[in-house]
Chain A
């Protein structure tokens, strides 16, 4: 079974620039999550999709972050404009149902300078 694919692996941008991350979940996994992991901390949920609908985006800074999941498969997470404090690893995960059997991608490490 192929894992959760994320790209790019690394990204360095200047503050106020825009950036987008892509995630391809495991085939058949209805639930997709984006987590932000700041250095030295545990992952924090940004947004959760069930198929192509948003279930929870209460922790997403909506003034600068946006996410979509087209056709209930791939997802993109965008930051516009980026701030220094957005430097983190952005992890995508998918699961068959909610809360069980999460599989994480390798993440995208974002550095904002």
Chain B
């Protein structure tokens, strides 16, 4: 079955790095995603990683994937107050027409 777990809260100081962690259960996951949700807004795709990759870097964002441990992390370098939001991890299993399965989200608070 599919299950995605995240820690609920993270607080960091402006300028520090943030690391948001996620674990998933389905080893058949093909893609893993990070979405950002600001208050009153929909989900914005931040980045994704294919399951055959270990790492992906995109400007301030670094995604690390440990398939053996089914662990995904999102590192935000030089965190800014504008990064304050809820971050969702989601997995996609390429089997039939399965949709994305989301975690409960990690609320990132950036302290100035």
Chain A: residues with CB nearer than 8 A to chain B?
A: 4, 33, 40-45, 48, 50, 55-56, 91, 93, 98-100, 102-107, 109
Identify the 3 closest CB pairs spanning chains A and B, nearest first.
A42-B102, A104-B42, A99-B92
Partner of A99, one of B31, B42, B102: B31
Partner of B98, one of A40, A43, A99, A105: A99
How many residues of B are in contact with the other chain, CB < 8 A?
24
- B97 near A102: Cβ-Cβ < 8 Å: no
Known: A41-B104, A98-B97. 15 other contacts (CB 8 A): A4-B42, A42-B102, A42-B103, A45-B100, A48-B97, A56-B99, A91-B43, A98-B99, A99-B30, A100-B31, A100-B92, A102-B43, A105-B42, A106-B40, A109-B40
* In the complex, residue of chain A having the shortest beta-carbon distance to the beta carbon of B93: A99
What 1/0 mask marks residues of chain B from 31 to 62 whose CB sits below 8 Å from any chain A CB? 10001000011111100000000000000000
Partner of A55, one of B30, B90, B94, B97: B97
Sample of 30 A–B contacts (CB below 8 Å): A4-B42, A41-B104, A41-B105, A42-B88, A42-B90, A42-B102, A42-B103, A42-B105, A43-B43, A45-B99, A45-B100, A45-B101, A48-B99, A55-B97, A56-B98, A56-B99, A91-B42, A91-B43, A93-B43, A98-B97, A99-B98, A99-B99, A102-B100, A103-B45, A104-B43, A106-B40, A106-B41, A107-B41, A107-B42, A109-B40
